Amino acid sequence: MQTHPLFLQGCGLPQAWTGQSQWCVLETGFGIGLNFLSTWQAWKADPDRPRILHFVACEPFPPSRCDLLKAAADLPGLLPLAQLLAAQWHGLLPGLHRLSFEDGHVLLSLGIGDAQDMLKAQTLAADSVFLTGLSPQHQPPAWDLNTLKAVARCCRRSTRLAALEVAPGVLEGLKQCGFEVINSPCLPADQPMLHAAFNPSWEPKTRRNVPKPLFRESMRCVVIGAGLAGAACAASLARRGWQVTVLDARKAVAGGASGLPVGILAPHVSPDDSALSRLSRQGLRATWQIARSQLREGLDWQASGVLQRRFDSSGALPADWPEAGKTWSRFATAANGAMPAPDCALWHGAGGWIKPQKLVHALLAGAGIRTLLGVDIDRLQRMPGVEPLWQVQTASGQCIAEATLVVLAAGFDSAALINRSRVAHSSVTAMPLQAIRGQLAWGMAPRDAILPASPVNGDGSFIPSFPAPQDPASQSGQDPVSHWLMGASFERDFSNDDIKAADQLALLGRLRHLLPATAASLTPAFEDGQAQAWAGVRCASPDHLPLVGALDETALPGVHVCTALGSRGLTFALLCAELLAAWLHDEPLPVEKRLAGSLRASRFQKI
């Protein structure tokens, strides 16, 4: 069993992280989690702790929730933390998973799979390494020199390493990989430890030893857009010490596509478990983590599950879908509300509904964030100087705000802002953004309405019961009045959000296809105008994946984007914000390196 305090002592923790803004621990074998829990406990108890604690770990065979709790049962100081960990311990398919604690200040990046493969899929610079999963009597084939090289690639010069006594072959491998190894007895005396520091005789092929110029002088950031994408970026950056100013031309936050009354959260599924499917699961996990900690269950969100009706061959699960995947999605049964054969349906147990506006308000309420609304945003202007400094200006040239970092999160308008700015450069091409207008219908549920037990998607999406956004009962603690919602239309290359009567009729037609009995009971609401309408303009990219990060670091230093979230803003916003923060701060990635690369904003720029 792991002896949790020894690894902290072996790496000089918690003293070593004093005065640091963030710290990254790498553990090669997560096991039953005691080293993570003890590191988290030490972080909580330290008044001089870093702002962000990253813990990156690999584990080919994750334990059960019961095993996590059992391991900490006799350790009262760790048991409450183990319970929080167990609450998020689900859906651990092979690959990388990001679990968030302490309002995003403690981040566990858990790779389910072989350590060598998982480390190659990550990008990180560890400050401390807990070398676990080894035994003096047995050296598994997976722990060959290539695995130790993968560990070394994740280290910066002077990274401390600790391990229990290991096989001689591992000792020799560490030396070959650039570690200076010293065998020294550590308390208790009968438990020898291996101590090492990464100090190769050659210069490592890494840029992580040099701090980025962007963060030497100023930590001021401007985020343009007060919707889901902008609020998520502002929250992620503020947690890392940035003073963030959020600007929006509208007079209210979530005034654009993020202003719909309520939205569905459900993972995307595909037979080949595509990049979109994997990203949607990680995004869903990130959104639920914030909802559970900052919003009110039953009023602002509900993990009700979502039934997906399949009208064609789309949306099938992978043929070899493992048991862990069934936490996310599985074939539905009658108990889930599945329709009779030959109709097929999926049950997304991790799905549900959430109010985007409530999420946006919660994210923008964090420390270090101020919001300016109804401002005339015309262009960006780079100011002269060594350090990149950008001004956000009005059409008349008045400066609204200035910062070393600008994040464009204004949806479809992000491209127009770049085009109007005095930052034109031959190497920067226009962002290929497409406007997609969507209209939805919603209203109070009649007492005799025939409603499904959970949200249903397929030909559109239907949410059968949620409290109205401005329902006084939801503020007073009384039982709120139940409302329904049907959405949404899909109109490409249309950037006007005016309400169309024809769209209301079209939505009723789609509801008749999706849920015939429900449509029949709600037809009077559509016909007599009781059904309210809402419309917004979403933004998508050609490959249907978000655009995140820098467009051109040479031509536009300090200008980044987070846009093109399409119809999955609730799923992608928080994940994309954490990815942007990871790239900016050279942190461990929240998703595999290859998946992260598929979201880079520069992928459509001409080379």
Question: CA 424 to CA 570: how far, in whole Å?
Answer: 32
User: Sorting pLDDT into bands at 50, 70 and 90, what band is 316?
Assistant: confident
Check if the beta carbon of residue 208 is closer than 8 Å to that of residue 156.
yes
Question: CA 121 to CA 596: how far, in whole Å?
Answer: 10
In the chain, what are the domains?
A: 4-198 (3.40.50.150), 213-255+359-433+545-604 (3.50.50.60), 257-263+309-352+435-540 (3.30.9.10)
- Which helix (H) or strand (E) is 535 found in, with range? strand 532-540
Instruction: Look at residue 136 in the predicted model and tell me its pLDDT.
Output: 46
Mean pLDDT of 220-248: 97
Nearest to 391 by CA among 171, 559, 514: 559
Quickly count: other Cβ atoms within 10 Å of residue 79's Cβ.
14
| Count of positions (residues) in the chain | 607
Instruction: Look at residue 478 in the predicted model and tell me its pLDDT.
Output: 55
Q: How do 22-27 and 52-59 pair as beta strands?
A: parallel
Nearest to 254 by CA among 227, 234, 220, 274: 227
Q: With 0.85 as the threshold, say if the pTM is over it.
A: yes
User: Sorting pLDDT into bands at 50, 70 and 90, what band is 468?
Assistant: confident
Per-residue DSSP letter, 222: E
Question: CA 605 to CA 295: how far, in whole Å?
Answer: 38
pLDDT in tens, 123-144: 999 999 999 976 444 445 546 7
**3-state secondary structure string, 77-94?**
CCHHHHHHHHHCCCCCCC
Check if the beta carbon of residue 588 is closer than 8 Å to that of residue 109.
yes
- Which helix (H) or strand (E) is 439 found in, with range? strand 434-444
Mean pLDDT of 23-42: 96
Question: CA 181 to CA 171: how far, in whole Å?
Answer: 7
Mean pLDDT of 528-540: 94
Question: CA 572 to CA 492: how far, in whole Å?
Answer: 20
- Residue holding tokens 């409290």? 467
Instruction: Look at residue 188 in the predicted model and tell me its pLDDT.
Output: 52
**In the beta sheet, which residues pair with residue 536?**
438
Check if the beta carbon of residue 545 is closer than 8 Å to that of residue 564.
yes
519 token code pair = 């449509």
Q: How do 330-331 and 379-383 pair as beta strands?
A: unpaired
